[in-house]
Structure 1
Amino acid sequence: MTRIAGVSGVLPPHRYRQGELGAGLAALRGGTGDELALAERFFAGAGVEFRHLMFPLERYGEFDGFGQANDAWLEAASELAHRSAELALRSAGMDAEQVDVVVSTTVTGIAVPSLEARIASRLGLRQDVRRVPLFGLGCAGGAGGLAVVDEVLAGRPGGVALLLATELCSLTLQRTDVSPPNLLATALFGDGAGALLAVGEEHPAAGGGPTVVATRSRLYPGTERLLGWQVGASGFGILLGPDLPELVRLHVGEEVASFLAAHDLKPGDVGSWVCHPGGPRVLDVLGEELCLPDAALAPSRESLARCGNLSSASVLHILRDVIDQGPPPPGSFGLMLALGPGFSSELVLLRW
């Protein structure tokens, strides 16, 4: 089975309190009194205390259209991806030349060649490294990327794989959009990156991370307009249906229970929950449907408060936090869970 040998999470330098961001973005946007009041309500109820941005807040008013924002994303995302990869390699005690496969996921910018190709030489990856760039999994990309790593290493049992999740959500800012979905997204999402080193079951590296027991991907039909991007001249406009929490209630609790039951487990048998912090209401619904104690989702809520929703990178930050707090007992189970566009879910069963 695939073993996680190292994991990292990095944040950009500009840290703001949620109230500072609300006021600063309101100044950039303008809008009526009613629109500003609605924005303030979303910011206050997002469960976010701080967020990190790649650029100073005042610079976001200077970007004129998608081209300039994406150019800034290319430079900044390459820097964050490189930093997160270096930290993951260091935590695993490995060199970049040992990496056989690199999987990279993002949904906040477009790069051709893709991010992992842009940092390959600087990082020290081999020229024959196998690259698997992913785009479009959104917030599910970190868990979905780990599932891809697991499948790749099943065919390379002595191999090493690097997963990169790099998201600069701030550069998707739609300043003129005062719709509730955009205001909510503006209140939730932050910038950050994560990386993970994994080895196949025949690789001699030890590492204190868990093994991947099983994975499951699921698409829910008829939900394509619930969550995703509406791409236009100004870039990525958010699609975010108001009934997302209820669809989580309808589908995801049952999906998790079914997935665990296939391995003779119940939610109560899972000691570590690595759940993407899609928002406070989504976490509330997950906790209710799975009958979880408050402590189970505490790492997700703490990550949301500390740096906001980092899209695909969030689950790697949360997994790092779980490991840093002291590895769970040997033999105990963990579950990584993320929801993404489609509407879709990605589940990864872990065991320490």
Structure 2
Amino acid sequence: MSTPTPSPPPSAATVVAVEPVLPAHRYAQSEIAEVLAPLLTDPGPGRSLLHRLHAATGVRARHLALPLETYPDLVSGPGAFDTTNALFADLALDLAERAVKGALATAGLEPHDVDVLLFTTVTGVGAPSVDALLPDRVGLRPDVLRWPGFGLGCVAGASGLALLERFCAGRPGAVGLLVSVELCSLTLQAGDRSVANVVASGLFGDGATAVVVTGPGHPGPGWRVLDHTSRVLPDSADDLGWRVGSSGLRIVLSAQLPQVLARHVGHDLRAFLPDGGGVDRWVVHPGGPKVLDAVAAAADLPPGALDTSREVLRECGNLSSSAVLHVLARTAADPGQRAVVLGVGPGVTTQTVLLERV
């Protein structure tokens, strides 16, 4: 006997605004490949391989935090990590400000209404982190509850929705703010000729998102949070993440990641939604074409179910924790329709959130 799909409790939290933002510097994938190739490969077969791998990512254009021509000098030589990490703090704060102001305006709220602020990134480190600088920049209350996160990586966008639901559900008038900023271009490892680094140099883009989640009683449209679950997949710690060293953040990206997801995602989704959940929309992390293909096959999704995820991948690249939130922002739905948000990150960790449009 199947478990019934959860009904929205009267105390449910609601996602009332999702504001994606992108840096101003946009380049075709082929332009980026031409500039990065000398940094990552030797002339000859290695260079040809980079162009083939970049073409296979499904990415056609990406937005970068800085002008493309600045990267060769920026990421090369001793002290590059010091420089790029310092740049992250300033550039991330600017993007976060844009996203927060846009999200609060859409929600019809003021900065002083925000009770809790979750900030996530996996592309820059610092203390104080960006969330500590946001209150002065955008006018949040000085007593706002802050929680910066780093290690969740790409899954943090979906996990942030679940965490804010825990805070806001059952609290009328509560307002939570999730801010994700990922400047993946600043993590580029010049001189690293590994296949993982070459693939990453063609896959990841820069961007940010702010999401407003409220407790019960907020007027207007949004996505009511019905349920959520997370799982750390067994024997997968070496398939996705960073190795942190003197040169900064070195990518861990296993070719086996799609197979890891294929073994587990279908079973986990069926356990979470034993009756199918009446799902109309799929908001899946655009981790790459093979990741999306693996999820579609494992979950037995209909053709076109992941078109919005593929669109974000094509136009922006993989934005790490912001990517699935950009997909959510583009996901159109009528009242009563349901969406599954599926994030994937280091661990390997999955986070699934069930939403209903109101």
Q: Tell me which protein shows more helix as a share of its residues.
A: 1
Q: CA deviation at 1:85?
A: 0.7
Say which is worse superposed, 208-217 or 24-33, in terms of deviation.
24-33
Secondary structure (helix, strand or coil) at the match of 2:273 reads helix
1:135 counterpart residue number: 150
Asked if the contact 1:65/1:233 (under 8 Å) is kept, the reply is: no
Asked if the contact 1:5/1:206 (under 8 Å) is kept, the reply is: no
Supply the RMSD in Å over aligned alpha carbons: 1.2
Taking the aligned partners of 1:60 and 1:338, their CA distance within structure 2 comes to 29
Deviations 1:285-305 (A, max 9, x none): 111122212221000000000
Taking the aligned partners of 2:126 and 2:353, their CA distance within structure 1 comes to 28
Q: Structure 1 regions of 5+ residues with no counterpart?
A: none
Taking the aligned partners of 1:306 and 1:126, their CA distance within structure 2 comes to 36
Secondary structure (helix, strand or coil) at the match of 2:106 reads helix
- Answering whether residue 117 of structure 2 is matched by residue 102 of structure 1, we say yes
Work out which of the residue numbers 10, 29, 38 in structure 2 matches 1:27: 38
Asked if the contact 2:121/2:181 (under 8 Å) is kept, the reply is: yes
Asked if the contact 2:236/2:260 (under 8 Å) is kept, the reply is: no
Aligned-residue identity in percent: 45
Deviations 1:42-86 (A, max 9, x none): 111000011000101121122242111100111101111111111
Q: CA deviation at 1:208?
A: 1.3
- Answering whether residue 349 of structure 2 is matched by residue 344 of structure 1, we say yes
Say which is worse superposed, 56-65 or 8-17, in terms of deviation.
56-65
- Answering whether residue 318 of structure 2 is matched by residue 289 of structure 1, we say no
Q: CA deviation at 1:330?
A: 2.0
- Answering whether residue 11 of structure 2 is matched by residue 5 of structure 1, we say no
Q: CA deviation at 1:221?
A: 2.4
Secondary structure (helix, strand or coil) at the match of 1:20 reads helix
**How does 1:265-344 map onto structure 2 within 5 Å?**
265-266=276-277, 269-323=278-332, 328-344=333-349
Secondary structure (helix, strand or coil) at the match of 1:347 reads strand
Say which is worse superposed, 163-172 or 287-296, in terms of deviation.
287-296
Stretches (4+) displaced over 4 A: none
Asked if the contact 2:36/2:72 (under 8 Å) is kept, the reply is: no
**How does 1:200-215 map onto structure 2 within 5 Å?**
200-201=215-216, 204-215=217-228
Q: CA deviation at 1:32?
A: 3.7
Taking the aligned partners of 2:264 and 2:168, their CA distance within structure 1 comes to 30
Work out which of the residue numbers 207, 223, 242 in structure 2 matches 1:192: 207
Asked if the contact 2:197/2:251 (under 8 Å) is kept, the reply is: yes
Q: Structure 2 regions of 5+ residues with no counterpart?
A: 1-11
Secondary structure (helix, strand or coil) at the match of 1:295 reads coil
Deviations 1:202-225 (A, max 9, x none): xx3223111001111100122111
Q: CA deviation at 1:153?
A: 1.3
Q: CA deviation at 1:317?
A: 1.0
- Answering whether residue 261 of structure 2 is matched by residue 248 of structure 1, we say yes
2:65 counterpart residue number: 54
Work out which of the residue numbers 94, 116, 126 in structure 2 matches 1:111: 126
Deviations 1:114-133 (A, max 9, x none): 21111211101001100011
Letter in 2 for 1:281: K
Taking the aligned partners of 2:36 and 2:43, their CA distance within structure 1 comes to 14
Taking the aligned partners of 1:86 and 1:110, their CA distance within structure 2 comes to 23
Say which is worse superposed, 284-293 or 144-153, in terms of deviation.
284-293
Secondary structure (helix, strand or coil) at the match of 1:43 reads helix
Secondary structure (helix, strand or coil) at the match of 2:305 reads helix
Letter in 2 for 1:247: V
Taking the aligned partners of 2:197 and 2:39, their CA distance within structure 1 comes to 14
Letter in 2 for 1:284: D
- TM-score w.r.t. length of structure 2: 0.93
Asked if the contact 1:16/1:52 (under 8 Å) is kept, the reply is: yes
Asked if the contact 1:6/1:207 (under 8 Å) is kept, the reply is: no
Letter in 2 for 1:296: A
Q: How many residues align?
A: 342
Taking the aligned partners of 1:30 and 1:246, their CA distance within structure 2 comes to 28
